[in-house]
Amino acid sequence: MSKQLDAAIEHLTSTYQSLAQAATGYLETLDAKEIDARLAKAKPDTAEYVALQHLSALMKTPIIEPAAPVEQIPAE
């Protein structure tokens, strides 16, 4: 168990912020495999389980890159 994941769970279980919004801040620093392994061991109906579910769901969401700007056609 990494200290980073412990800190993320602590933050998510004690924040008044939206869990989805708070969890997005950890996407680049946490390991999806570690989250899933810990989720498998967590007891359902606990704050830790809910936090891990949010992290796991966000890690599996593909990041959609913004579309490249369309070149404007010059007016005649």
DSSP track, 3-72 = HHHHHHHHHHHH-SS-HHHHHHTTTTTS-HHHHHHHHHHSPTTSHHHHHHHHHHHHHHSPPPPPPPPPPP
Distance CA 71, CA 25 (A): 33
C-beta neighbour count of 11 within 10 angstroms:
15
Domain ranges, ordered by start, for the chain = 3-60
Tell me which residue of 27, 36, 25 sits closest to 1, measured CA to CA: 36
The pTM of the whole model exceeds 0.85? no
- Residues with pLDDT less than 70, the chain: 1, 61-76
